[in-house]
A and B are shown apart, each in its own frame.
Chain A
């Protein structure tokens, strides 16, 4: 976590983003202001194509806004170089992707351990930590299973909240997760 307890988690001002589509231009975000205090659970809701994913991508530092600025945990994202942005993301931001994007060749515990490995944890230590988290979630008996072997894996997204838990930062970005994940995520949040 880069900021102090009094630092807002997210501050966005006048964010604008548009995409070239063919010869035309599609405006995805127009003058967005957003403040998210630390410790707050916020959900973005809106019809498909209204710019939810674009906004989350900008907050996560994956997309750069055309206009405006965005600070996360007190760090102005525009001030970071590409590698600094990647490192910042690795340390502070957790994701549940729309289609999970788990690595099918890794066990559930290994998948959960990936964020820690990215942050330089030794693999076995990261795996033990992941197993502990999965154990807390009642999945201790399945840590060695492969993601694809998980019953109805793609629809239930069972270990995904554990992935969030492995993020050492104070917040996460997500986009249209499978509905079944949310109750678990909320439980974990509490």
Chain B
């Protein structure tokens, strides 16, 4: 009977296509809106994720998100280095400074000053130049986004991105671009620049405290939670594992912006619209197939078998529509890759979309099954 159920489904290509389109659309919008939402949220901690070496971030206890510059005394670095279980600790400056571009325009730039000796905290992916080029005089590395956004119009009237060798001014200090790096976009979307910690101190306005973060590597096999607790206890500073610091960022933006509510509404509407389209399509299919089911019932097919046929049809339509939907979502994500739009499809999202599509299809199938069970086979004798 499975064969008959599938032939009934595939046989009417118009209805079959409409159902697939309906469920594809439902799966698409159930995936796309949350993917944009998750993409935006992932940007709140992309800077932390891009720094793969440190296990623990140490900072002022009042810091709520990574772009928040609340400097520490430089001596805190030595105190952290003295905590048991710490393999190494390096300084990191992070602050918004004003850069003067080659054409004289002034732009805000998010400058990171990494440890002079080890360059820990420098970008992982270099498109041009090398990280060690930071050891040259006045050297800075721009991320690709900064290079493009700082583009200047040449004599030919064409915009040229900032390239290696160009000279900027940061706080009236010379800054020579020695490399272009690929960094993930941050939530605040500020262009990023990297230099050494000492040079960053020169670029930044003079303050009594300058150190923003202390990046810590735990000794092999050490329990991170124990070390963070020890750092907090012994220094009075905030210390988070990288994962915990990501959550701090996430929580801050979730609580202090309307993003979750706005996207929550979009996702809910998407689910409802998708459910309506997909559910209606499948229910219409079952309803329009009732006469065929009635004929089968009259010929000796039990209700249980008819129910299994409807559920099989629902499962097939749901699976195919789901596949197309998430496939289109993924293509959308690929198409907007490296653009200003955020997009992130974690496996949990794919699972939740699958659950959403399953819920829609099962609900529609249940309504259809109710009709099939209550079907009077005598209807087949009526013209």
Which residues of chain B are near A63, meaning CB under 8 Å?
Answer: 378
How many Å lie between the Cα of A106 and that of B295 in the bound state? 14
Which residues of chain A are near B255, meaning CB under 8 Å?
Answer: none
Which residues of chain B are near A105, meaning CB under 8 Å?
Answer: 7-12
Query: With A105-B8, A114-B299, A119-B300 known to touch, is A62 a contact of B1 (CB < 8 Å)?
Result: no
A125 is an interface residue with CB less than 8 A from chain B:
no
Which residues of chain B are near A115, meaning CB under 8 Å?
Answer: 299-300
Min Cβ gap B18→A in Å is 15
Q: Which of B292-320 contact A (CB under 8 A)?
A: 292, 294-303
B182 is an interface residue with CB less than 8 A from chain A:
no
A149 is an interface residue with CB less than 8 A from chain B:
no
B347 is an interface residue with CB less than 8 A from chain A:
no
Min Cβ gap A182→B in Å is 17
A 87-108 to B, binary, CB cutoff 8 A, 1 in contact else 0:
1111101010111010111100
The answer on a CB contact under 8 Å between A97 and B381 is yes
A175 is an interface residue with CB less than 8 A from chain B:
yes
The answer on a CB contact under 8 Å between A98 and B1 is no
Which residues of chain A are near B294, meaning CB under 8 Å?
Answer: 101
Query: Which of A7-15, A52-60, A136-144 lies on the face that meets chain B?
Result: A52-60
How many Å lie between the Cα of A147 and that of B383 in the bound state? 18
A181 is an interface residue with CB less than 8 A from chain B:
no
* A104 partner, pick from B11, B297, B301, B382, beta carbons under 8 A: B11
B201 is an interface residue with CB less than 8 A from chain A:
no
Residue of A nearest to B2 (CB): A123
The answer on a CB contact under 8 Å between B7 and A118 is no
Which residues of chain A are near B382, meaning CB under 8 Å?
Answer: 53, 98
Which residues of chain A are near B3, meaning CB under 8 Å?
Answer: 117, 123
Which residues of chain A are near B10, meaning CB under 8 Å?
Answer: 105
A131 is an interface residue with CB less than 8 A from chain B:
no
Which residues of chain A are near B292, meaning CB under 8 Å?
Answer: 101, 103
* A103 partner, pick from B4, B377, B381, beta carbons under 8 A: B4
Residue of A nearest to B305 (CB): A118
Query: With A110-B7, A123-B3 known to touch, is A101 a contact of B300 (CB < 8 Å)?
Result: no
Min Cβ gap B68→A in Å is 63
B184 is an interface residue with CB less than 8 A from chain A:
no
B330 is an interface residue with CB less than 8 A from chain A:
no
A78 is an interface residue with CB less than 8 A from chain B:
no
Q: Which of B1-44 contact A (CB under 8 A)?
A: 1, 3-4, 7-12
How many Å lie between the Cα of A87 and that of B380 in the bound state? 18
The answer on a CB contact under 8 Å between B298 and A98 is no
The answer on a CB contact under 8 Å between A90 and B300 is yes
Residue of A nearest to B6 (CB): A105
The answer on a CB contact under 8 Å between B297 and A103 is no
A83 is an interface residue with CB less than 8 A from chain B:
yes
Q: Which of A33-82 contact B (CB under 8 A)?
A: 53, 56-57, 60, 62-63
The answer on a CB contact under 8 Å between A86 and B7 is no
B81 is an interface residue with CB less than 8 A from chain A:
no
B163 is an interface residue with CB less than 8 A from chain A:
no
* B301 partner, pick from A91, A95, A118, beta carbons under 8 A: A118
Min Cβ gap B312→A in Å is 14
Q: Which of A111-146 contact B (CB under 8 A)?
A: 114-115, 117-119, 123
Residues on A close to B: CB < 8 A?
53, 56-57, 60, 62-63, 83, 86-91, 93, 95, 97-99, 101, 103-106, 110, 114-115, 117-119, 123, 175-176
Given contacts A86-B301, A105-B8, 6 further A-B contacts (CB under 8 A): A62-B377, A62-B381, A91-B300, A101-B294, A105-B10, A115-B299
Residues on B close to A: CB < 8 A?
1, 3-4, 7-12, 291-292, 294-303, 376-378, 380-383
5 A-B pairs in the complex with CB atoms less than 8 angstroms apart: A53-B382, A56-B381, A103-B4, A103-B7, A118-B299
